Amino acid sequence: MKIPFGTITINQETKDLVNKALDSGRVSSGKYVGEFEKQFAKLVNARQAVAVSSGTDADILALAALYDFGVERGEDVIVPSLSFVATGNAVLHAGLNPVFVDIDYKTLNIDEKKIESAITKKTKAIMPVHLMGKPAKMDVIMDIAKKHNLFVIEDAAEAHGAVYKGKKVGEWGDMAAYSLYIAHIITTVEGGVVTSNREDFAEILRSLRCHGRACKCETCVVNISNGYCEKRFANGKDIRFIFERVGYSSKMNELEAAVGIASLNMYHGIIEKRHSNLVAMIERLREFSEYLDTIEEEKDEKIGPHAFPIIVKKGAPFTRNELVGHLEKNGIDTRDLFSSMPTQCPGFKFLGHKLGDFPVAEFMGTNGLHIGVHQDIRQEQIDYIMVMIRDFVKEKIR
């Protein structure tokens, strides 16, 4: 049996929308991108959504937007030490300094009890990550941010559909950054989106995604129809060649947006199946609780089911790599549960952290893995996964 980590659902609507975009002769950012933004914003209860080329770019642009609101280059952003490397990369690419905080073992998210001790006069923002779709403790984080006058950008790359204390992930902070990569609940194949309830943030984001242009209307008539724009030459110079800030080339294209619109129309069915798979796998893994851990869905939250993490507990008679080897040989696709960015990712060595600085994140980086919970996984495949784990554990404890 083969069980891939991720999947993408392509239906007839997806194909029809992509073909319509191709037939239009306009495949750069246009009306489909605008429609995707409107629908995505409505889904996550945001007033504004700005589509970009990746989830990493969503993080970068959200951070770079803060320069228009008093943040200066080289100032600090607090992030969890465990995440996909894009989180740390984004802070650096935005010209800011990542300040890492260790994670909580049970949630895999930033340990909110350790945030305040990391705040200095240089701290300007907190970027919590909702890892594996499990919400971070946003009420506590927002209280800390308010107390210290900090911006909050939610890295919700993996957390479509997650809910915490009655509010959707992304509703808590100043902005939220989502990935739309192929393995995620909502996908444009490649892509990302930043959401906010503030129009001023959205305007800056629209400028940043297109080289920092002064042209930043919510709907661009030039992009949609090649029509006449009254604003374009109003001040005697083409507004599309006035660059107000250091920007990026991060637009979403029409083909990606067409896939995204169809994905949004399938969203409720997909997330229901993925959540059902996740809950079933959490329950089934309890059989191996002496040796293996995972996350739990707490009473005040709903996990946005991105993937299923498995942690080999301290003292287990086998290693993460041995378990991974067994699963892979038996057709079950796995991924490491990321790494401690500052101490286990060589690219961050220049920041000067040393192994042992972030013990919980480092433990996960050595002992954690994750497998798929996607909508194409069937009950018999969950049964197969658990049989493979049972066979492995029995062999190791014999």
| Residues 6 or more apart whose Cβ sits within 8 Å of residue 168 | 44, 45, 161, 162
Q: State the Rg of the chain over Cα.
A: 22
Give the model's pLDDT for residue 224. 65
CA–CA–CA angle 84, 92, 187 (5° rounding):
40
Cα 349–353–355 angle (5° rounding)? Answer: 95
- pLDDT for 217 equals 65
pLDDT digits (tens, 9 = 90+) for 218-229: 776 556 666 676
Q: Report long-range pairs for 291-299 (Cβ below 8 Å, ≥24 apart).
A: 291/316, 291/317, 291/318, 291/393, 292/316, 292/389, 295/106, 295/107, 295/108, 295/132, 295/134, 296/106, 297/134
Contacts of 95 (CB under 8 A, 6+ apart): 64, 73, 74
Residue 88 banded pLDDT, cuts 50, 70, 90: very high
Stretch 67-89: mean pLDDT? 98
Per-residue pLDDT, averaged over 83-105, amounts to: 98
SS3 280: helix
pLDDT of residue 358: 98
Cα 74 from chain centre: 24
The predicted pLDDT at position 240 comes to 78
Band the pLDDT of 232: cuts 50, 70, 90.
Answer: confident
Q: In degrees rounded to 5, what are phi and psi of residue 153?
A: -115, 120
For range 85-101, the mean pLDDT: 98
pLDDT bracket for residue 13 (50, 70, 90): very high
| Measured distance CA(104)–CA(136) in Å, rounded | 10
Q: What is the mean pLDDT of the chain?
A: 95
Residues in Cβ contact with 392 at an 8 Å cutoff, skipping those fewer than 6 apart? 318, 322, 323, 326, 327
CB-neighbour burial class of residue 278 (10 A; exposed 0-12, middle 13-18, buried 19+): buried
Q: In the chain, what are the domains? A: 12-265 (3.40.640.10), 267-397 (3.90.1150.10)
Give me the pLDDT at residue 153, please.
Answer: 98
The answer to whether residue 391 scores a pLDDT higher than 90 is yes
The residue-averaged pLDDT of 332-358 equals 98
Q: Which helix (H) or strand (E) holds 389?
A: helix 379-397
Q: Of 28, 36, 34, which is closest to residue 219 (Cα–Cα)?
A: 34
Q: What is the DSSP string of 43-100?
A: HTT-SEEEEES-HHHHHHHHHHGGGGGT--TT-EEEEESEE-THHHHHHHHTT-EEEE
- DSSP 8-state symbol, 39: H
Percent of the chain with pLDDT over 70: 97
Distance of CA 152 to the CA centre of its chain: 15
Show the tokens assigned to 205.
């984001």
How far apart, in whole angstroms, are the C-alpha atoms of residue 250 and residue 54? 8
Nearest to 296 by CA among 133, 81, 127: 133
Read off the pLDDT of each residue in 343-371 and give the average, rounded to a whole number: 98
pLDDT band for position 215 (50/70/90)? confident
Percent of the residues in the chain that have a pLDDT greater than 90, as a whole number: 90
Q: How confident is the model at residue 43 (pLDDT cuts 50, 70, 90)?
A: very high
Q: What distance in Å separates the CA atoms of residue 160 and residue 133, rounded to the nearest whole number?
A: 7
